[in-house]
Amino acid sequence: DQQVKQNSPSLSVQEGRISILNCDYTNSMFDYFLWYKKYPAEGPTFLISISSIKDKNEDGRFTVFLNKSAKHLSLHIVPSQPGDSAVYFCAGRGSQGNLIFGKGTKLSVKP
């Protein structure tokens, strides 16, 4: 069973506009959620995280929102830039401390 789901395999956005990447989860025991960005031929790079006791965390152009009742989190990128084009993974931290990842969403930001 997939505990973390990213239902959109791809997303295309115009430069300067907002990118919204979505993630749903089923495991209510997750205590932390993280977003990673991955370029081809590189390992994932940590982007931003949020504790399960919060509903929003912001870092520059990146904001993560958590809706615990809906078991949903989203990553907002404003404004989007061509360099943001990458695969974005959301992950939940399980009770053992390991990360459980979604399958990723490929973001394309067009100039």
Interface residue list for another protein (CB under 8 A): 32, 34, 36, 41-46, 49, 51, 89, 91, 93, 96-104
In terms of CB distance, is 80 or 93 closer to another protein?
Answer: 93
Distance between CA 23 and CA 6 in Å, rounded?
5
In the complex, least distance from residue 75 CB atom to another protein, rounded to whole angstroms: 16
Q: How far apart are CA 29 and CA 86, in angstroms?
A: 29
Min separation Cβ 29 and another protein, Å: 14
| DSSP-assigned beta bridge partners for residue 62 | 59, 77
Q: In the chain, what is the straight-line distance between the N-terminal and C-terminal CA atoms, in Å? A: 38
Coil, helix or strand at residue 33: strand
Q: For residues 17 and 31, which CB has a smaller minimum distance to another protein in the complex?
A: 31
Least distance to another protein, CB of residue 17, Å: 27
